[in-house]
Structures are given as C-alpha cells and as structure tokens.
A and B are shown apart, each in its own frame.
Chain A
Amino acid sequence: MRAKTPTEVTEVHGRLSRRALLLGGTMLAFMTGLGFRMRHLQLDQADQYRLLAEENRINIRLIPPARGEIFDRNGIVLARNEPSYRVTLVPEDAGDVDAVIDKLATLVELDPKELDRAVTEMRRSPPFLPVTIADRVSWDELSRVAVNTPALPGITPEVGLSRYYPLRGDMAHVLGYVGPVSDYDLSKIDNPDQLLRIPRFQIGKVGLEGRMEDDLRGVAGTKRVEVNAVGRIMRELDRREGEQGDDIQLTIDQGLQSYAQARLGEESAAAVVMDCETGDLLAVASAPTFDPNLFVEGISVADYGELTGNDHRPLAAKSVQGTYPPGSTFKMITALAALEEGIIGYDDTVYCPGHMEISNRRFHCWKRGGHGQMNLAQAIRESCDVYFYDIALQVGIDKMSEVAAKFGIGVKFDLPLSGVARGLNPSRDWKSSVRGEDWVVGDTANASIGQGFVLASPLQLAVMTARLATGKAVPPRLVKSINGVEQPIAEAPRLDISPTHLAEVQRGMYAVSNHRRGTAYSKRIIEDEFRMAGKTGTSQVRNITAAERARGVTRNEDLPWNRRDHGLFVNYAPFENPKIAVAVVVEHGSGSKAATPIGRDITLQALYGGTPPLSAYPTKDRNSIKIQQEELEKLVPGREITRRNRA
C-alpha cells in the first residue's frame, strides 16, 4: 500500500472534520430539542403535573366518629362507647407468621374460627396491611401483649370503640342495638355515607339506635396521608376531626325501667309508664328481654336460635309492637261515647241477669249470676259486661269509634322506635273495606267490652289512661333532649269531651281500686296521697263454646299456656292530682289478676321514686310484698350505673 501524500491527508481529514462538525451540530440541535421538551413539560405544564403528583401521593382516610351516647332523664348512661381492644398483625413485619401466632397464643386466648378468618384474609391482602388476629380481648390480655411486643414482631395492640349497653336487657326494647353494617343495610340506602364502607362499622339496626341513626352516627373526620405506590402509609399530612354523634337523652327513668323489667320477670308481658301531663314515657318495658350486647359484634347462630325459638318472644318489643284486645279496659270509651251522645244519665240503671240476647245470640257477662241493677259508676267498678252491651247497642259503633280515636286507639304514635303498632279501632268502613262484610250489632257488643276486632298496644292503653286522667290529648314523648337541646313539649289540647262526663268515668275508675266491690280492690294503695284510679281487663284469646259453658267454664289455669286469657290493668295516680298513667299487659296471664299487682307495684315505685314503704300496701299483703321487694332489690341494684360525665 502506497503512502499518502500530505495533500491527500489534509483533504481526507478535512472531509472527516466537516462531517464531524455536521454530526456535532445535529447532536447539539437534538439536545436543544430535548431542552425545549423539558421546558414544555416542566414549565408550561408544571401546574398540571404537580397536581397529578399530589393526587398520586395523597390518600384520604376516614376517621370514624364516636357514636352519640344515650342517657336516661337523670343522666344515667344507657348506651355508651367502650374501648374495644384487639390485636392486629402485619404479616410483612412478622416474618414467620406461624411462630408469632404460636407465641401470641400463650398470652391471649385465640378463637380458632377468628384465626382461620385472619389467615384467609392475610392470603388475600398485601403483606403490609394489618389483619385482626384477636377481637374483643380483655384489658389484661391486651396489656400482656403490649408488654411483650418486642418479642412479637408485627403484632400491634389496638384500641377502637364499640357500643356497650351497661343495663343489658333492661333497655333492650327501647334502644334496640347496633351491629356491623351488612350488605343488606347498604342496599336499603341510596348514596350511603362513606363511613358505612368501613368494614365492621357499627350501625343502628332496630329500636332507637336504628331510627335515630342519623343523629347518633356523627360525621366522619378525614386524615390526609401520604402513601407510596403500593398504598403503604408513609406519614399523616393533616387531619380534619369529624363531629361525634349527637347525645340523646330519653324521657325514660332508668330506675323505674329496671324495676319494671324486673317486676315483669320472665312473664311474657309489657308495661308502659307515662307522665300524665307531659306525655314523657318513664318506662317502656317488655319481658322477657335479651342482652343487646350480643348483637353488637354479630350474634352467634346458637344465641340467635335460642332467642327466636322461645315462645315468649324475647325479641319482640311488646309494649309498642304488641297489640291485644283491650278487654274491659275499653269500657271507659264505651261509657264516654254513650254519655256524649246523651243516651244515658249517671244514675240510669241497666239490669244484668248475667247474659243478654242479641240477634239470637247469647252474650254473657263475666259474672254468671249477673250483677242486678247497675248504674255507670257501678258498672265500671264491677266491670259489668251486660251494662256496656246495652249502652253500646244504643250508641252504635260510629260514636264509639270516634271517641276511641280521641283517646289514641288506632292511632300510630310517632316515636323513634321500631314497629310502633297502629292497633285497630274498628268501624263500619273498616269492616266493609277490609273484610268485605257489613257491620253487625254483635260486633258492636263485642267492641263495647274491648273484644272482637278492637286491638291496642300497651303504649296506646297508657296514652288512653293519661288522657282519661287529664282530659287532654297528651301525646307520648320519648326523646327529652338531643345534644343538650331540650325537645319542646307540645301543649296538649283539651279533648272535646265534657269534663263532667269524664269526672263520672273517673269516679268509676277510682271505685275499681278503692271500693270494697271494685275489681282491683284487693290490690289497692292505702296511702291516701297516692290513691289510684284504674280498670282491670281480661281478654279472651279463644271462643268459649256453648258446650264448654254448659260444663262450667274451664279454669284458665288448666288450659295450655298459650290459650289462657291475657291479663290487663290500666291506672293513673294520684287520683286527685294525676301524675302518672300505667298500662300493664300480661300475655296469657289467666286474667286481670296477673296484671293488677304489677300495675300497682310499678305505680308505687314511680310515685315514691324508689322502693315504697310497706305502709302503702294493704295490711294482709305486707308479708308477701316484703319478700317480693327483697327479691327484686337483689335484681335491680348492683348494676353498673354511671352518671353522665359529659356536659
């Protein structure tokens, strides 16, 4: 190969240099292009991308608010939030999960079912998310775990809030209960609160907890947290506190309520105590009862089966949901209808031979031999059926139905409780439209003594009694204040009933309890200040055939439980200056004698604001009452009761 001349060398190198400069120029142009692209991204679109970066890193978490607490009229806590302790595990931090769980099992009792659930959850969720290993552990267990955390990698003892009902069964039917939110709950609500998406968030299911959910729940707080690309929380940026739920104060008097529950005991029964003037419900008891705390975390199938399988239906709030033929407690309505129509005078008498023929059917009086001549007050006092058949046939169902409605029969009261019953105030229209039959006189006769179609709840009977006592259309009231704001008491209008007529009926009711021949005389109050007026009632749950009657009426106690008569008693006291109205229904109690003493005892308890002295009772009852009081005192006190400590 020949050597190149310097000219050639220069020429060749010159071409290389030109191309090198061209290449360099291209490179610099490209880099300038990159610079402009940077400018475009970083300066022109900076705001937009800054926003996207913030959206990326910031996640909003909800802080569940504390649920509003519920107090009785004296500030005693009925429902509160308790710290609920649980133990969580972060699988990623634990390393050997099985070893950590084994170690934990020596400190805390682990539920195998809960553990299975936790293991499944761990498999599904990313390893940095905490999984609950043990729920509702005791404080002792939690502190044992807390002390041992260095030896338990990934384990965190946590504190949350859970509903607790310190009075257990005593308030169950009023408060209802909360429970973990279910898919069914969510399906009922349009556009549900984000809070409800929190797993196991507690929501009011029934009763006051359910009906006043919106007040009690509160507003969720939020915290903004910085998360990384896989969703792990790096730090909290800021938080906006939510609002805790509204505290609700009820008109219920916890002492009286607990007493009423205990007094009803294991009977299938209900009792309502109402303030005659304000309509405040002081006690709304239903027995037997159940522990609402069972429902808070989700009730077990076994416990639930036990409650639903019981023929005394503990889950039913009989005081507001149960409807019963009012029996003789309805007779005041019949009497007032006749008085208002001007059909009878106070001293007009009806002769009671023990029965009455109405359209070829024989209607019996409860007293086989008959009462003889009866005027109004006597008929109420001795509960003479024939007297009321007679006046009812004269006055007719239309007027009776009109008066019954004024006293709250067939009216659905607007209370924040589940399934408040309307009952039934029958009329011609009702029978033809619902049953497609014409009203017959026999129906009027049945209605006159609170049988047949008439149905009323214990609450309605208490309202009726309060209205009989005051002559005012007192409405029942359950909520005293919300978040410290007193709820107004509606001024009850006077009933469109002549006061003198009412006074005559009241006189009859006074005699029921205070006249030697009154049906409740044996269960009277002898303290003059607190004398009561009342009315007994027995309502049949079956028809008595002519054949049975011929054999002699079967003793109720010999019948199977569910075919025995209901026992009812309504009363108000003190007679001169009515303060409280009481209604008691004992299902299948074999007549009014089951209800009357309960009504009397609850009345005394309410009027004395505690255990009444034995001197208020008739002398011959005092020994048995003393024993009963000692039994009940064992039941009522000693419950954990805390006074309201929040302003």
Chain B
Amino acid sequence: MSYLEYNVKHVPSGLRKVLHLNWALLLLITAVAGVGFLMLYSVAGGSFSPWAEPQMKRYALGVFVMFFVAMVPIWFWRSISGFAYLVTLILLVLVEVMGSVGMGAQRWIDLGFMRLQPSELMKITLVMCLAAYYDWLPTEKTSKPLWVLIPVLLIIIPTMLVLRQPDLGTSILLLTGGAIVMFLAGVHWGYFAAVISMVVGLVVAVFQSRGTEWQLLKNYQYRRIDTFLDPSSDPLGAGYHITQSKIALGSGGWTGRGFMQGTQSRLNFLPEKHTDFIFTTLAEEFGYVGAVSLLSLYALIVVFCIASAISNKDRYSSLVILGISGAFFLFFAVNMSMVMGLAPVVGVPLPLVSYGGSAMLVLMAGFGLVQSAHVHRPRQV
C-alpha cells in the first residue's frame, strides 16, 4: 500500500527491462569480480583450480540470479519481504538445531547441491524487511519508542542467533546494516547517540574491570584484545595472521612485487589467502596502485547505488538500495580494516573477490534487488 501509485504504463515491461538495467553498476561489479578471479588464479600458483574456475562459474550463476531478481517487479519483492525475513529466521533456528558442523561453527544447511548459509541470506532479507516496515509505517510514528522497539527486535533476534554460531563478523554486519536502514528511515538522532554512548561506556567498563573481581570478560578474551591492539607481542601465536598480513601489504610498495610474485602469499605465510586475506595478496602483488584501484571500484559501486536511491522516489526502493549498498560497504570496509590491522580478525570476506559460494550468490541477489528497484522506479509523467 504505497503512498505513491506506480505509473505502471511508464515502467518498462518484458525484455525491454534489460535495456533499463543499471549497466554501469553491473560493469563495476564485473570488474571487481574479475579482480577476484585474477587473485584466485595467482594464489593458486598460476592455476584456475582449485579456486578461480569454481569462482567464475559461481559468478556466472550469480549474474543469472541477478537478472532473474531484477526482472521481477520491485513491488513483488516488497510484498514478500516480511515472509522472506520469517523464512530466513526459521532457517537460522534450523541451523542452530540441526545444521552440520563446519569450520568449528554451525553455519550452513546442506541442500545437497550447495550449502546454504542462512546468515548470509539474512543480510538481504533483514534489509528487505526493515525497508518494508518503514515503507508501511506512517512517518510521524518513526521515532516513537514502541515503533523503534519493533525494528530493534527484528535486528537483535537474528543477530543473537548468528552470534551463537558463533560468527562475530556477520553479526556485526547485521547489527550495523540494520542500524543504517533505521537511520535512513529517519529515526531520531537521540536513539543513535544513546546507543553509541552506551557502547562506549561498555568498552570502557570492559577495560576498567580487567583484573578486578567483577571482570566482564574471560582472560583469553582479553588476550585476544591485546593481540589485536599489539600484534607484534605474539607474532607466531595469535598475532601471526595480522603480522604476516601487514608484512604482505607493506612489502607491496608503490606498484607491488608483480603478478604471481607475492612471496608472502605464494609461500603460504599468509593465512586464508584465498578468502579473508585475499586483499593482502592484491596489495602485495599490485602495490598501492592496485589496492587503491580496487578501493575506488568499491567506492564507485557505493556512489552509483546512492545516486540511484536518491533519484528513486519510492521509499521501499530507496531503503532497499541504500540498505544493500550499506551492507556491501560494511563488508569490504570491515575486511580491509581487518587485514590492515585496524579491526580485529573477525572473519569477514572481501565481497565479490574472496572465494566463497553462498556470499557471492546472496550478494548478486542483493544487487538484483537494486537493479529491480532501478528498473521499476516510478517515472515522472
């Protein structure tokens, strides 16, 4: 029940929709994925197997999914937003109950042909659900405490479930992604200020309590924090990943050591070189120029999304586009901060570049929504 009736006549239909896709965005996405293929080829020692080839197939599948989602009118997606959120939530609970154990954490349901990570799916469906909620909610109620509590619960419930898996990285992304949508929807500044000051207070309390009787964290958790703050204190133990990562980044210099010449990644000093730490390989082999180029591609994707959102008069569409681009931003911002030693190592892959199926498909589906919103945007008569 939108406040704006769509002028359906002016929305393209059938195959003509393809012409109205945001092709520039698709081009940028393909460029970033291409960087991914190149790096996966390099870290495998100049071989398409075991990573580059499956990744390319997944990307092809992802493009197909994107087209499919983009062809379906955005109002259909709006109408199933709440349902999609519920289904994802049920899947998250299912993972908790019967999910198979992988990587020491319960994260996926084995569908036979692929492993489904509901937490990945939740990044999109949470955005959809919140966008639909704020599209439905009269604007004057936006900052009323009761109406603020509902989206907070919508965010907190999946976040807690994901945190239990445990997957700290994804839960941070869900929490922040949700908060971004609430902020865009116009929730009063005060709430955010209150939450931020509470978080700051909590952090101070955690540090102040150390060594006292009411200490808030376990000792090993403090040690992890120490390692994050000063990785060189334990270069072969817990600080190993981040120390090696910084060495790889730093040794890149201006133009890097050359394609497939990165000693840190090729000789396995880099941990998780094909997933979470793939950016370090890029920075090592292509240097500052390569790293900033990729960063610029990401920035352009975000800028194109924001421009598309602002020009879109449909509230649901704007919120979905901004929410998804916000989640996308958080993805690469957290990953890059992590490998540069600015954030703790929490296991967030680099979007579109890191090896991994679920994340790629979900992201492409998300960009499908962005494209659908773009194609089906209301046009001035």
A41:B267 contact, CB within 8 angstroms: no
Q: How far is the CB of A1 from chain B (nearest CB, A)?
A: 6
A12:B269 contact, CB within 8 angstroms: no
State whether the Cβ of A577 lies closer than 8 Å to any Cβ in chain B.
no
Residue of B nearest to A9 (CB): B3
State whether the Cβ of B253 lies closer than 8 Å to any Cβ in chain A.
yes
How far is A9 from B252 in the complex, measured between Cα atoms in Å? 51
For A229, list chain B residues within 8 Å (CB): 267-269
State whether the Cβ of B157 lies closer than 8 Å to any Cβ in chain A.
no
Given known A-B contacts A31-B333, A57-B267, A46 and B303 have beta carbons under 8 A apart: no
For B329, list chain A residues within 8 Å (CB): 27
For A627, list chain B residues within 8 Å (CB): none
B267:A31 contact, CB within 8 angstroms: no
For A53, list chain B residues within 8 Å (CB): 247-248, 250-251, 263-264, 269, 284
State whether the Cβ of A209 lies closer than 8 Å to any Cβ in chain B.
no
Tell me the count of chain B residues lying within 8 A, CB to CB, of chain A.
51
How far is A1 from B136 in the complex, measured between Cα atoms in Å? 10
For B267, list chain A residues within 8 Å (CB): 56-57, 226-229, 234
Q: How far is the CB of B289 from chain A (nearest CB, A)?
A: 9
For B4, list chain A residues within 8 Å (CB): 9
Q: How far is the CB of B381 from chain A (nearest CB, A)?
A: 13
A52:B247 contact, CB within 8 angstroms: yes
B184:A23 contact, CB within 8 angstroms: yes
Given known A-B contacts A28-B299, A31-B299, A56-B264, A23 and B250 have beta carbons under 8 A apart: no
For A50, list chain B residues within 8 Å (CB): 250-251, 253
Q: How far is the CB of B188 from chain A (nearest CB, A)?
A: 11
Residue of A nearest to B243 (CB): A52
Given known A-B contacts A15-B186, A21-B306, A27-B302, A56 and B340 have beta carbons under 8 A apart: no
Q: Which of B24-32, B310-318, B357-365 contacts A (4 or more CB under 8 A)?
A: B310-318
State whether the Cβ of A106 lies closer than 8 Å to any Cβ in chain B.
no
Q: How far is the CB of A58 from chain B (nearest CB, A)?
A: 9
State whether the Cβ of A348 lies closer than 8 Å to any Cβ in chain B.
no
How far is A12 from B251 in the complex, measured between Cα atoms in Å? 50
A49:B250 contact, CB within 8 angstroms: yes
State whether the Cβ of B309 lies closer than 8 Å to any Cβ in chain A.
yes
A38:B292 contact, CB within 8 angstroms: yes
A3:B253 contact, CB within 8 angstroms: no
State whether the Cβ of A24 lies closer than 8 Å to any Cβ in chain B.
yes
How far is A42 from B287 in the complex, measured between Cα atoms in Å? 7
For A41, list chain B residues within 8 Å (CB): 246, 249-250, 340
Q: How far is the CB of B147 from chain A (nearest CB, A)?
A: 14
For A226, list chain B residues within 8 Å (CB): 263, 267
State whether the Cβ of A61 lies closer than 8 Å to any Cβ in chain B.
no
Q: How far is the CB of B39 from chain A (nearest CB, A)?
A: 16
For A3, list chain B residues within 8 Å (CB): 3
State whether the Cβ of B116 lies closer than 8 Å to any Cβ in chain A.
no
For B250, list chain A residues within 8 Å (CB): 41-42, 45-46, 48-50, 52-53
For B68, list chain A residues within 8 Å (CB): none
State whether the Cβ of A39 lies closer than 8 Å to any Cβ in chain B.
yes
State whether the Cβ of A160 lies closer than 8 Å to any Cβ in chain B.
no
State whether the Cβ of A17 lies closer than 8 Å to any Cβ in chain B.
yes
For A52, list chain B residues within 8 Å (CB): 247, 250-251
A228:B268 contact, CB within 8 angstroms: yes
How far is A271 from B247 in the complex, measured between Cα atoms in Å? 69
Residue of B nearest to A34 (CB): B336
Task: Determine which residue in A1, A4, A45, A52 has the highest number of CB atoms from chain B within 10 A of its CB, and name it.
Answer: A52
A16:B263 contact, CB within 8 angstroms: no
For B254, list chain A residues within 8 Å (CB): 42-43, 46
Residue of A nearest to B249 (CB): A41
A13:B318 contact, CB within 8 angstroms: yes
A46:B253 contact, CB within 8 angstroms: yes
State whether the Cβ of A30 lies closer than 8 Å to any Cβ in chain B.
yes
For A48, list chain B residues within 8 Å (CB): 250
B251:A17 contact, CB within 8 angstroms: no
Given known A-B contacts A42-B252, A46-B251, A226-B267, A23 and B318 have beta carbons under 8 A apart: no
- Interchain CB contact (< 8 A) of B340 among A4, A23, A34: A34
State whether the Cβ of A35 lies closer than 8 Å to any Cβ in chain B.
yes
For A553, list chain B residues within 8 Å (CB): none
B234-252 interface code vs A (CB 8 A; 1 in, 0 out): 0000000000101111111
Q: How far is the CB of A225 from chain B (nearest CB, A)?
A: 11
For A27, list chain B residues within 8 Å (CB): 299, 302, 326, 329, 333
How far is A13 from B267 in the complex, measured between Cα atoms in Å? 53
How far is A12 from B180 in the complex, measured between Cα atoms in Å? 17
For B342, list chain A residues within 8 Å (CB): 34, 37
For B310, list chain A residues within 8 Å (CB): 17, 20-21
Residue of A nearest to B319 (CB): A16
For A4, list chain B residues within 8 Å (CB): 3
State whether the Cβ of B43 lies closer than 8 Å to any Cβ in chain A.
no
How far is A235 from B180 in the complex, measured between Cα atoms in Å? 51
State whether the Cβ of A8 lies closer than 8 Å to any Cβ in chain B.
yes
For B318, list chain A residues within 8 Å (CB): 13, 16, 20
Q: How far is the CB of B341 from chain A (nearest CB, A)?
A: 8
How far is A9 from B306 in the complex, measured between Cα atoms in Å? 19
A42:B253 contact, CB within 8 angstroms: yes
B340:A20 contact, CB within 8 angstroms: no
State whether the Cβ of A230 lies closer than 8 Å to any Cβ in chain B.
yes
B309:A35 contact, CB within 8 angstroms: no
Q: How far is the CB of B212 from chain A (nearest CB, A)?
A: 34
A42:B249 contact, CB within 8 angstroms: yes
Q: How far is the CB of A621 from chain B (nearest CB, A)?
A: 79
For A517, list chain B residues within 8 Å (CB): none
For B299, list chain A residues within 8 Å (CB): 27-28, 31
State whether the Cβ of A19 lies closer than 8 Å to any Cβ in chain B.
yes
How far is A363 from B375 in the complex, measured between Cα atoms in Å? 134
Residue of B nearest to A49 (CB): B250
State whether the Cβ of B345 lies closer than 8 Å to any Cβ in chain A.
no
State whether the Cβ of B139 lies closer than 8 Å to any Cβ in chain A.
yes
How far is A56 from B250 in the complex, measured between Cα atoms in Å? 13
How far is A274 from B295 in the complex, measured between Cα atoms in Å? 86
How far is A595 from B263 in the complex, measured between Cα atoms in Å? 74
How far is A28 from B301 in the complex, measured between Cα atoms in Å? 11
How far is A15 from B247 in the complex, measured between Cα atoms in Å? 45
For A23, list chain B residues within 8 Å (CB): 180, 183-184, 306, 322, 326
Residue of B nearest to A56 (CB): B269
How far is A486 from B322 in the complex, measured between Cα atoms in Å? 90
Residue of A nearest to B271 (CB): A229
How far is A42 from B257 in the complex, measured between Cα atoms in Å? 12
How far is A4 from B185 in the complex, measured between Cα atoms in Å? 16
State whether the Cβ of B283 lies closer than 8 Å to any Cβ in chain A.
yes
- Interchain CB contact (< 8 A) of B283 among A9, A15, A21, A38: A38
A481-539 residues at the B interface, CB under 8 angstroms: none
A57:B246 contact, CB within 8 angstroms: no
State whether the Cβ of B298 lies closer than 8 Å to any Cβ in chain A.
yes
State whether the Cβ of B197 lies closer than 8 Å to any Cβ in chain A.
no
For B333, list chain A residues within 8 Å (CB): 27, 30-31, 34
How far is A593 from B295 in the complex, measured between Cα atoms in Å? 101
A232-253 residues at the B interface, CB under 8 angstroms: 234
- Using a CB–CB cutoff of 8 Å, the interface residues on chain B facing chain A are 1, 3-4, 138-139, 180, 183-186, 244, 246-254, 263-264, 267-269, 283-284, 287-288, 291-292, 295, 298-299, 302-303, 306, 309-310, 313, 315, 318-319, 322, 326, 329, 333, 336-337, 340, 342
- Using a CB–CB cutoff of 8 Å, the interface residues on chain A facing chain B are 1, 3-4, 8-9, 12-13, 15-17, 19-21, 23-24, 27-28, 30-31, 34-35, 37-39, 41-43, 45-46, 48-50, 52-54, 56-57, 226-230, 234
What are 16 A-to-B residue pairs whose CB atoms are below 8 Å? Answer: A9-B4, A19-B183, A23-B180, A23-B322, A38-B292, A42-B253, A43-B253, A46-B251, A52-B251, A53-B251, A53-B284, A57-B263, A57-B267, A226-B263, A228-B268, A234-B267
Extra inter-chain contacts (4) besides given A23-B306, A42-B254, A52-B250, CB under 8 Å = A24-B303, A27-B333, A43-B288, A228-B267
Shortest 9 CB-CB contacts between residues of A and residues of B = A49-B250, A4-B3, A53-B251, A228-B267, A46-B253, A229-B268, A42-B288, A24-B306, A50-B251
